[in-house]
Every structure is written in structure tokens, then in C-alpha cells.
Amino acid sequence: MERCCLACMSDPLLRELDHYVVLEPGAAERILTAEETLAWLAQSLAALAAPPADLSGLGSARLQAERLLETACQLELEPGRSLQWFAVRLEPPAGLG
């Protein structure tokens, strides 16, 4: 079973954003900085018994988190329980505000 989705972050403009809404089962949504989101993902990955197969070749939870942040928007913790994160813009793009 796939643990992450690879199509969510296909737009390069989304990867330039500095904030993410993160969703966890049983918790309120939060807005985190990119660095806080990386730390949150790394901690979540480190808590898994095994990383998703497509991330297992990366050496550390931090590298795995970086890959997830660049390529996905969901990490399945177990069947029916997933973490999700979505890039958000808190300010209008330069020149539009």
C-alpha cells in the first residue's frame, strides 16, 4: 500500500511557499513554517516502524522529510490514519498586494 502521494506538490510555485497547514488525526489544524513542517515530518517518520518504500533509501528521517515535502502531501501512518500538509500563502505574491 502506498504511504504517500506524489502528485500533490507538482506545481513549482507551491514549493516556494514558506508555510504549511498540517493535519493530524485527532488534532486541530496548525500552520507551521517550512522548517517547522520539516521537523514535524521528520519526527513523524522517525516514529514509524519502517519508512515508506520510496523513502527507505534515504539516510535519515530529515532527508526523508525533505523528499516528502517536495513531492507529496500525505503520509499514511497506518490504514485509515494519515498525516497531511498543504502549502499556503499568508501574503499576496509580490506585485499583487
Q: Please identify which residue in the block is written with the cell numbers 516502524.
A: 49
Give residue 59's pLDDT.
Answer: 83
Residue of higher predicted confidence among 40 and 13: 40
**Residue 4 belongs to a domain:** no
* Alpha helix segments (H runs only) across 5-92: 12-15, 34-47, 61-71
Print the domain residue range for 47: 12-88
Q: Each residue of 51-96: pLDDT tens digit?
A: 888 888 998 999 999 999 989 999 998 889 999 999 888 776 666 5
Give residue 20's pLDDT.
Answer: 94
**Residue 71 belongs to a domain:** yes
Give the count of domains, the chain. 1
Give residue 18's pLDDT.
Answer: 85
